[in-house]
Amino acid sequence: MAQSDIKRVVLAYSGGLDTSVILKWLQTTYGCEVVTFTADLGQGEELEPARRKAEMLGIRPEHIFMDDLREEFTRDFVFPMFRMNALYEGQYLLGTSIARPLIAKRQIEIAKLVGADAVSHGATGKGNDQVRFELTYYALNPNIKIIAPWREWDLASRTKLIAFAEAHQIPIAKDKYGEAPFSVDANLLHSSSEGKVLEDPAVEAPEMVYMRTIAPEAAPDKATIIAIDFEKGDPVAIDGVAMSPATLLTRLNELGRANGIGRLDLVENRFVGMKSRGVYETPGGTILHVAHRGIESITLDREAMHLKESLMPRYAELVYYGFWFTPEREMIQALCDKSQEMVTGRVRLKLYKGNVTVIGRESPFSLYDQDLVTFEEGAVAYDHRDAQGFIKLNALRLRTLAMRRARIG
């Protein structure tokens, strides 16, 4: 791609050292105008410093976009994923993965709005995020140009980044001069910590890594009991109080934090081919995952549930790999959402020292029939004698196999 082809680029900008260096590098290397986009996804950081830093680096005020996407993030990305009960490799609730398509989507929207030729991100050439961003870019604008500085420049160390920043009068926070003990990515759903002190999977993560939860050992000795109401698979209220999606997830995060819930130390398989060790905290999401499975247990038909569960690993991989805006993800989502039409009701949960336990569930659409399952005698539309034929029919192939073994043995 010829540098002269780029006149204006939309940069996913946090205001930190890396993206501030990228901003100046784009200006000096491509000689282009930079438009910054900073997303509020509930990462818990003050975003105004990013605006001031962008202005200081010469970005025109009308080209600084700062969007509060917390409700859209929770409603249109987190909740659909949780309706599927998605877990990557059986454990990871995909907190970082699910944020990338929304950031990339908004970048493409801004690029169209301001007439930009290109978009840019700060993901490294070793990670999953470069794939997630760029698959979304191309899915939404097949002709967009993409600039990935970490795959182009020679600023391959923190020392070089700082030297570049100093040479171009980019302010550097005092804590950025030292080597960070680990890197952190956060949003309303979770926080992710990786690298440095966490690179050896044999060594326990130090307590300082955990920022969103107290240690389970330090959690209260008394359990917290809560109730979550669902409508068509989505949570709508806690303890009878209706809340917006982002407000509800924020409240579940508070409850999870106070009870030491949602910690995960995981070695996962990255899409690019290597294994990595990460420490995740997903307090509210962990509660929500357990609660949703609880309400499904009484409202979903057995075969519908099993079909949905068989597709879940594939869906989770699609999210993890960055294939959110694809026909296959949308097809599985449509099947999932069809299954959720009667997933309405209330789940009661016990939160205690890192654990979430379902202690009650009820629904106007429950398939649980107490007359059918009771061990007591009653007027029930179930004849025990019917089980004999059911068993013999299911055993037919097993009896046939056994007879063959007897003939040849």
d(CA 339, CA 305): 8
Which residues are CB-contacts of 138 (< 8 A; sequence separation ≥ 6)?
Answer: 144, 146
The pLDDT of residue 280: 97
d(CA 126, CA 105): 22
The pLDDT of residue 298: 98
The pLDDT of residue 4: 65
User: What would the 3-class secondary structure string for 246-276 be?
Assistant: HHHHHHHHHHHHHCCCCEEEEEEECCCCCEE
The pLDDT of residue 2: 59
Query: What count of residues does the chain have?
Result: 409
Give yes or no for a contact between 257 and 169, defined as CB atoms under 8 angstroms apart.
Answer: no
Which residues are CB-contacts of 173 (< 8 A; sequence separation ≥ 6)?
Answer: 17
Give yes or no for a contact between 126 and 272, defined as CB atoms under 8 angstroms apart.
Answer: yes
Which residues are CB-contacts of 370 (< 8 A; sequence separation ≥ 6)?
Answer: none
The CA-based diameter of the chain, rounded to the nearest angstrom, is 87
The predicted-structure confidence for 8-59, as pLDDT tens digits, reads as follows: 999 999 999 999 999 999 999 999 999 999 999 999 888 999 999 999 999 9
Phi, psi of 297 (to 5 degrees): -60, -25
The pLDDT of residue 409: 79
The pLDDT of residue 401: 95
Strands in 33-40's sheet, in edge-to-edge order, are 64-68, 33-40, 8-12, 118-120, 145-147
The pLDDT of residue 213: 98
Q: Give all strands (DSSP E) within 254-387, no chain letters.
A: 263-269, 275-281, 345-352, 355-362
Tokens of 227: 């109730």
The predicted-structure confidence for 185-208, as pLDDT tens digits, reads as follows: 999 999 999 988 999 999 999 999
CB-CB neighbours of 95 under 10 Å: 23
The pLDDT of residue 176: 57
Give yes or no for a contact between 171 and 56, defined as CB atoms under 8 angstroms apart.
Answer: yes
The pLDDT of residue 378: 57
d(CA 238, CA 250): 11
The pLDDT of residue 371: 75
d(CA 35, CA 15): 13
- The domains of the chain, with CATH numbers, are 3-70+97-179 (3.40.50.620), 184-362 (3.90.1260.10), 374-408 (no CATH)
The pLDDT of residue 130: 97
In DSSP terms, 352 is beta-bridged to 355
Give yes or no for a contact between 20 and 28, defined as CB atoms under 8 angstroms apart.
Answer: no
Tokens of 24: 């100046």
Residues 329, 132, 105, 96, Cα dihedral to 10°: 90
Give yes or no for a contact between 263 and 213, defined as CB atoms under 8 angstroms apart.
Answer: yes
The pLDDT of residue 157: 82
Q: Give all strands (DSSP E) within 260-343, no chain letters.
A: 263-269, 275-281
Helices (H) and strands (E) in the chain, counts: 13, 14
Tokens of 397: 């192939």
Tokens of 408: 């040849």
Q: Can you list the residues of the chain whose pLDDT is less than 50?
A: none
CA dist list (Å): 79 to 83, 234, 274 = 6, 6, 29
* CB-count exposure of residue 241 (10 Å: 0-12, 13-18, 19+): exposed
Name all contacts of 243-247 with Cβ < 8 Å and 24+ positions apart: 244/71, 245/71, 245/74, 245/75, 245/78, 245/79, 246/42, 246/70, 246/71, 246/73, 246/74, 246/75, 246/188
pTM score, whole prediction: 0.94
pLDDT, the chain, mean: 94
Active site residues: 18, 100, 129, 183
Distance from the first to the final alpha carbon of the chain: 71
